[in-house]
A and B are shown apart, each in its own frame.
Chain A
Amino acid sequence: MSETVTQDERRTDERPSDAAGDGTAGAHPAIAVRPGFQDAASSANTEKVFELRGISVFYADVPAVRDISMDVFKNHVTALIGPSGCGKSTLIRCLNRMNDLIPTARVEGELLYHGQDLYGPRVDPIQVRKLIGMVFQKPNPFPKSIYDNIAFGPKVLGMDGDMDEIVERALRSAALWDEVKDRLNENAYGMSGGQQQRLCIARCIAVQPDVILMDEPCSALDPISTGKIEDLMAELKREFSIVIVTHNMQQAARVSDRTAFLMVELDADEKHRWGRIVEYDQTEKIFTNPSDSRTEDYVTGKVG
């Protein structure tokens, strides 16, 4: 789990100081919201990439998330946080229809992608995934060379262009080029975990998607690799819109523009549990002045 949780998050005994500088005492001192990172959030760019209205997901009629409504904005990094089991991964997998691969999964509600119904009758999940890419929790490079890993996507999707160029561009965008440019033909399994994950990001970028989904991309990595990927996200969001699931609150505070906090809800006889959005707002607000007490409890480390 949280190898990347640093010591800072645990200092709940410290008196909350006025880190936000606006007189609110609710701020957690150690979760420093990166200044200047909130450009996107406060900018006028409010083009919506996703609009979720009452999204619920069921696995064989057992609910996993219920009634999720939120908007995801273009060129933002949107984080989904919350305790484990609250359905963050389930939710993010709706966005690129990866839940289709599970036979018992069922999605209800409305999910619009740039205004189009993502689950419409004539929508092709393959097409969806060309536009909305995904990076997984555990790096999953293909058992091929580094070059072939990147080239696979463009090749099967029939993209034109010089493959060498495409590969180089993708690797540069993932900040991996300098490290691997001399060994493109080596097997990807020889790379370290952090490099493999950046390879997966490069692979995702190579097919030129619109959105990149990241499902806990750093939870299997060491802190240095995590840092590199977080830096990468800041660059990537200029071209792509990013949705990231993370159980590392500090990470969410560092990289995201907006954050959604989900919690587990139990039904009356405690047999079923599902996730629900508690609060969704600009990251700075979530971490310094949340509206809901449950959010405050979570981000200050009192629960979860």
Chain B
Amino acid sequence: MEARGFVASGPAALSRRLEAASPRYGEKAIFALLAGCAVLSVVTTTAIVISLVVPSIQFFGEVSITDFLFGTDWGPTFTPASFGVLPIVVGTLSVTLWAMVFAIPIGLGSAIYLSEYASRRVRRAVKPILEILAGIPTIAFGYFALIFITPQLQKIWPGHFLGGPPLLFSVLGGGLAIGLMIVPIIASISEDAMSAVPRGLREGAYALGATKAKVATRVVFPAALSGIVASVILGVSRAIGETMVVLIAVGSTPNLTLSPVESVQAMTAFIGTTATGDIPNGSTTYKTIFAVALLLFGMTMVMNLLSVRLVRKYRQAYE
């Protein structure tokens, strides 16, 4: 044993005092500061809600809710002004529909392939590419719709199908671009849900001689259903809230139609075109913008809450 030379003679041991040496205000201050940072999220949500609700209340003081929600004439900046919001809501939903027509099969298909079929090498190669896709700025998708998707559609369009080839600004081009943008969301959340399905379930089926296709469609897909639906809902919410693509490629004139080849204006495009920063507070235009934004906020919030609840469900099921 080597020499120690270590006597317990430190100040603590000698005095053996158990009370705190100092009141430690620093610790309490830090606690308050950190709590403030965390509470900021609540403050932000409140601020968003207030900023949307206050002008909207003023708005609905002048325009009746039924006129707003069910009117078919949208011209708030014209004289005489009309406030029927249906054209831009339908515009948003129309674009969203085509986005999902593209995104669901492509996203889900990719997810199933990655989860059930792909070897580790393929997965390691494909997943980063999906991440890159997820990181591309929305302005790039908008521009892509304008300079590639729509012109190509115009080139291959069969005659007057659905009313003729798509216009330069049209629902279909923007919709497909948004669809491509959403593919990573659907793919990653669905794949997550599918890998949460316990291996035992699959192996039981394989042991009975089932093919991969059967296992994927009959075992894994139903088991992961709530997660998959959650991913779709999240995708829809994302599509509804997307601004740049519709601003660039879908149009700036309200047009109440379900046709994918026509030009329409989406809610976000209306906001983006009209809210250019120097609108006076309290003006009708200002209030209109916020009323539409409130509607947009409400729609996306409902979808998000639904999606979160579903995700919690699938996570719980296997924990």
Contact = CB atoms under 8 A, between A and B. Distances in A.
A120 interface: yes
A37 interface: no
Interface residues of B, number: 19
B2 A175 contact: yes
B25 interface: no
Given A114-B16, A209-B12, A173 B4 contact: yes
Interface in A176-219: 177-178, 205, 207-210
A235 B12 contact: no
A128 B18 contact: yes
A208 B18 contact: no
A123 B6 contact: no
A127 B18 contact: yes
Given A178-B2, A208-B13, A231-B1, A240 B20 contact: no
A122 B23 CA distance: 11
Contact of A123 (B4, B12, B19, B21): B19
Given A127-B21, A231-B1, A235-B1, A172 B6 contact: yes
A209 B4 CA distance: 15
B6 A239 contact: yes
A113 interface: yes
B10 A208 contact: yes
B159 interface: no
A235 B4 contact: yes
A173 B10 CA distance: 15
A178 B3 CA distance: 12
Given A175-B1, A209-B13, A239 B18 contact: no
Contacts of A172: 2-6
A159 interface: yes
Contact of A169 (B5, B19, B20): B5
B160 interface: no
B8 A239 contact: yes
B10 to A, nearest CB: 3
Contact of B10 (A113, A123, A126, A159): A159
A208 B15 CA distance: 12
A46 B196 CA distance: 61
A242 B6 CA distance: 16
Contacts of B29: none
B12 A131 contact: yes
Interface in B222-255: none
Nearest to B15: A131
B207 interface: no
B18 A120 contact: yes
Contacts of B9: 208
A118 interface: yes
Interface string A40-75: 000000000000000000000000000000000000
B30 interface: no
Contact of A124 (B1, B8, B10, B20): B20
A210 B8 contact: yes
A172 B9 CA distance: 17
Nearest to B7: A239
Given A122-B19, A123-B19, A124-B19, A208 B4 contact: no
Contacts of B8: 208-210, 239-240
Contacts of B19: 122-124, 127
A205 B6 contact: yes
A237 to B, nearest CB: 11
Contacts of A159: 10-11
Given A116-B18, A172-B4, A208-B8, 13 more contacts: A116-B16, A120-B18, A127-B12, A127-B19, A127-B21, A131-B18, A159-B10, A159-B11, A169-B6, A170-B6, A175-B2, A208-B11, A210-B13
Counting from the closest, the 4 A-B pairs by CB-CB distance are: A208-B10, A124-B20, A173-B6, A123-B18
Interface of B: 1-13, 16-21
12 contacts: A124-B18, A127-B20, A130-B12, A131-B13, A170-B6, A175-B1, A178-B2, A208-B11, A209-B12, A209-B13, A210-B8, A231-B1
